[in-house]
Amino acid sequence: MMSVRTWMTTCALAAGLAAPALAQQPTQPAAPAPAQPTPAAAAAADSGVLSSEGWNAQRVTLAQALEMARANNPLQVQAQENVRVANMGRLQAIGSYLPTINANASSSKSSSQRPDYTGAIVSAPSDVSSLGISANLNLFTGFQRGAQRRLANATADLDRAALVGQTYATDLATKQAFFNALATQELVGVSQANVAQTEQQLKLTAEKLRLGATTRSDSLTASVAYGTAEVQLIQARANALTAQANLARAIGAAGLAAPVRDPTLEIRLVSLDTAALRREAEANAPSVLQATASVAAARASQSASRSSLWPTISLSASDRWSGQLLFPWSAAPINTTTGLPTQKYLGSWNVGLSVSYPLFNGFQREAGMVVADANVRTSEARLRDAQLALDASLTQDLTALQAAGAQIDVSRTSVAAAEEALRMQQERYRLGAATIVDLLTAETALNQAQVSLVQSRYSYLIARAQLEALVGHALAE
């Protein structure tokens, strides 16, 4: 009778530990665990939704996530618009070789007093209107137009290189958020498997306690382990929801975004020619291309600043028509002498050639040249630093990729070893040859090995994405 009462107490304690967790968090399917996924985890992988109560998430593949991020990321949009503005700058630089043309028109009406031919003072209205067109063409600008055109081309190249670099940066951030969401989703499955194992162990301990084959301490320890596993499951679900919210923000979607797992993403690189990769990176890496374009833009700006040492020569021409009428469609004024209509408008034209040379402008010309020269030296130093940083980052990312690949193999072996160790401890505990502490230690070791495997798999994918963003192209399988 004592054993039955103790068993009922143990079950009540286990239910009390689990009830708050279940009350706070609705039951929700999650991604499958890498080893022995539970049915709930498998259902989560199919649904892509962690909770059935108010947490529906939009399912996205990696390709869809990258496309949405490139369309919605603010920095990506800004880089795209900078390219559009730079292209207009190139057109504007070409337009400086063409003449500027202006048209003008004016009309006024006034009243004045004057003596007529008899000597009497009369009040006569006066209507005046004019039409004109003028053009101006710079014949020589001290080579400024050529320098400005080179500067516009260099600026366009710089913005295009910045767009490429920002595209890979956006892709990297999106992949990191995507893989993190996948990892946390799988960790929910690991936690669910751990809850199932501890629940099974709790039932076994309770049964042994009923038969008098174990102590109440073992039953309480199993209950605590079950409650701890439930708390870990709640935290894993919270982490998964947070990761899905971060992914949704990265791709510019409202609510949550559930990543769709693609097994082809986890295909590891068979071999990698590091020497060839370094050569390609030195020639095509976004960071180096952007720094190189920055040097070209600075040198073009320096050339443009030197144009102020030369005079400018411009040609202008204008044609103007004026008449004593308010509007062009008004009737022609009458000649007071002949009584006949006069010509509506009288024309005049002008052609001029001007030369301008600033003799002294408060050292503004010299200051501009010094600033341009300083910008060239600074951009050249940044180019050298970008090349050195590329070499250092290549070394770091290549070793990180190799280490992540090796860690996957170690983690898989660890999971296999932990599964075998748990199977042995379960059998020994059933036979009474092992304590509850030995069994729980084996279960904890398996849980940690499964978590390590999930983390190592996605660490490899993130390391690969970082390397691809660095070199500026996808790595071949």
CB–CB of 124/111 below 8 Å? Answer: yes
CB–CB of 226/15 below 8 Å? Answer: no
Average pLDDT score over residue span 159-187: 93
Asked which of 27-31, 109-113, 208-212, 410-414 is least confident by mean pLDDT, the reply is: 27-31
Quick one: DSSP state of residue 341? B
Greater pLDDT, 249 or 346: 249
Average pLDDT score over residue span 98-124: 76
Greater pLDDT, 440 or 18: 440
Average pLDDT score over residue span 71-75: 94
**End-to-end C-alpha distance for the chain, whole angstroms:** 66
Is the CATH code 1.10.238.10 the one for domain 2-83+153-295+376-471?
Answer: no
What is the distance between the alpha carbons of residues 91 and 84, in angstroms, rounded to a whole number?
Answer: 11
What is the distance between the alpha carbons of residues 33 and 185, in angstroms, rounded to a whole number?
Answer: 9
pLDDT of amino acid 283: 84
What is the distance between the alpha carbons of residues 477 and 475, in angstroms, rounded to a whole number?
Answer: 7
| Ranges in the chain annotated CATH 2.20.200 | 99-140+312-356
**How far are the Cα atoms of 219, 266, 310 from residue 92, in angstroms, in the given order?**
82, 49, 22
Asked which of 15-29, 72-86, 197-211 is least confident by mean pLDDT, the reply is: 15-29
The rounded mean pLDDT for the chain is 82
Q: Is the pLDDT of residue 48 over 60?
A: no
Q: Is the pLDDT of residue 335 over 50?
A: yes
Question: Can you give the three-state secondary structure of 138-186, one letter per residue?
Answer: EEECCCHHHHHHHHHHHHHHHHHHHHHHHHHHHHHHHHHHHHHHHHHHH
Residue among 201, 208, 207 nearest 223 (CA): 201
Q: Is 436 helix (H, G, I), strand (E, B) or coil?
A: helix
Q: Is the pLDDT of residue 164 over 60?
A: yes
CB–CB of 128/322 below 8 Å? Answer: yes
| Ranges in the chain annotated CATH 1.20.1600.10 | 2-83+153-295+376-471
pLDDT of amino acid 246: 95
CB–CB of 142/311 below 8 Å? Answer: yes
| Residue 203 CB partners (closer than 8 Å, separation 6+) | none
Is the CATH code 2.30.230 the one for domain 99-140+312-356?
Answer: no
